[in-house]
Amino acid sequence: MGKKKEERQPLLVSSNEPLNDTYDRSAIPRPDLRNSPDNVVVHLAGGPMEGASTPDGGVPPPPKPPKPDFDPVLNRNLEHPTSNLDTMIHLLKGNIGSGILAMPDAFSNAGLVVGTVGTLIMGVICTHCMHMLVKCAHELCRRSQMPALGFSEVVETAFATGPSVLRPFSHAAKIMVNVFLCITQLGFCCVYFVFVAANLRDVVAHFWIDLDVQVYLGLLLIPMIVLNWVKNLKYLAPVSLFASILTITGLGITFFYMLQGLPRTSSVHAFAPWHKLPLFFGTAIYAFEGIGVVLPLENNMETPQDFSGLTGVLNTGMVIVAALYTSVGFFGYLKYGDHVKGSITLNLPPNDLLAQSVRLMMGLAIFLSYGLQFYVPMNIIWPLIKDKLHTEKAQMYGEYIVRTIIVIFTFVLAALIPDLGAVISLVGAVSSSALALIFPPLIEIITFWKVGLGRYNWILWKDIAIVIFGLLGFGFGSYSSIENILNADKS
């Protein structure tokens, strides 16, 4: 057990120093690590390409001529590489979070047949985009002579080494990815606030008194602020492990309730109205958003050649993820029909102590995971402010203030939109679709533009189709989610 914990350490911190300390951009870079719900892998600001950019954000200097025999895998110097099993566990954890509990609500917006087929198709497309990102990262590592690159570095390197017309926009492309990462993570933080408050309200209302969900949001604010004053990520690692145990236990009990007394499939809609499909897309893509953990996991493997391939770690893990999402959505919607709520835990029988314990377990797990989730926007925003504070004391107090402001910001957003299903759908449509479906195919087109995009440019047409699919989901999903939120406020 101690060995496994030691192996996973590179995924948590890049050195023995706290994550928020000054980042050495001249060192061999750690890849961008982005955290999906309940995941311990965290995005690190900065990176190799950022150091190569000019101070004013202009065109970075032309890359060194690549060595034809340079293999990024052989040039990775990992102190504690992870095994295939460790990588599989992290991959599952990066893709299975609070979004899985919203899948029955997603099925209610699609119907039983469309939800089942659509979820599986979404899983295939997202998995293909993950493979796409890994392939492009390997090619760009060879061009830039770097052992590893993260998400935003891959985007910047693709632009910097791609067609000449795109090179001036390489730094802007990296900034755009970081912006979407911030939007995604702040959205996840809002979902966490609402999720914990909704489950806590449900338990208290059953045993004592029914108060408005905003009351519970207010009660959670101070503990959330204090939790996020913890600066060193290693102190949150045991908390994350405990949260994972709670999540697994809660899911097991949830299946126990869902599979009892299932009605006939004819009792629910096979096909939902077309205008509800964008809400299904937003929730489903939110749940599948684990593309940010793919590169750091592959970069830290002892045998990275086992990551891709037909029976590799990525395909095996994503098959398990797709099966879990589909089964939770299918049986949850079949069990509770159109009465299903934004989180399936809110549908469990209120008179059962076991069901109430699930709400408490999942709520506590999500609450404890907020601290890890919070590191993503913090480590993108804080370096921009830290440079303007010139004394050590000012930086110390400034960081506490920034942390407090960001937590309060997510609290305000959660209080304004207490509809859990609508928040999840909106976050998925706005930012998760961009990171999972739009950027990877664009990166592939730019990376291999000069090399060739297959016979009859079939790769180009395939990637364009995925981008169009992502843009449609982005547009219609965002519109439907916002409309749903506004209508809910009026009612």
HSE at residue 144, side-chain half, CA atoms within 13 A, is 32
- b/e map 411-441, b = 16+ CB within 10 Å: bebbbebbbbbbbbbbbbbbbbbbbbbbbbb
- When the pLDDT of each residue in the chain is averaged and rounded to a whole number, the result is 79
Query: Residues 137, 76: contact at Cβ < 8 Å?
Result: no
The 8-class DSSP code of residue 301 comes to B
pLDDT of residue 329: 93
pLDDT of residue 235: 67
pLDDT average, residue stretch 376-401:
86
pLDDT of residue 63: 52
Q: Where are the domains of the chain?
A: 85-488
Chain segment 128-159, per-residue pLDDT in tens: 999 999 999 999 988 888 888 888 889 999 99
The label of the residue with tokens 């061999």 reads 28
pLDDT of residue 285: 81
Q: What is the CA radius of gyration of the chain?
A: 22
Report the CATH number of the 85-488 domain: 1.20.1740.10
The label of the residue with tokens 């303007």 reads 388
pLDDT of residue 22: 36
- Least reliable range by pLDDT among 240-249, 267-276, 316-325: 240-249
Q: pLDDT-derived band of residue 119, with 50, 70 and 90 as boundaries?
A: very high
DSSP class per residue in 31-72 = PP--PPTT------S--HHHHHS-TTS-PPPPPPPPPTT--T
The closest alpha carbon to 299, from 5, 1, 10, belongs to 10
**Angle at the Cα of 274 from the Cα atoms of 113 and 416, rounded to 5 degrees:** 105
pLDDT average, residue stretch 327-341:
91
Pick the residue with more confidence: 343 or 40? 343
Chain segment 443-473, per-residue pLDDT in tens: 999 999 888 888 888 999 999 999 999 898 8
- Least reliable range by pLDDT among 166-170, 268-272, 410-414, 474-478: 474-478
Q: pLDDT-derived band of residue 54, with 50, 70 and 90 as boundaries?
A: very low
Q: pLDDT-derived band of residue 125, with 50, 70 and 90 as boundaries?
A: very high
pLDDT of residue 305: 85
Cβ contacts of residue 42 below 8 Å, gap of 6+? Answer: 12, 19, 33, 34, 35, 233, 372, 375, 376, 379
Chain segment 202-228, per-residue pLDDT in tens: 888 878 887 888 888 888 899 989 888
Backbone angles phi, psi at 82, to 5 degrees: -95, 150
Pick the residue with more confidence: 407 or 283? 407
pLDDT average, residue stretch 365-369:
82
pLDDT of residue 453: 85
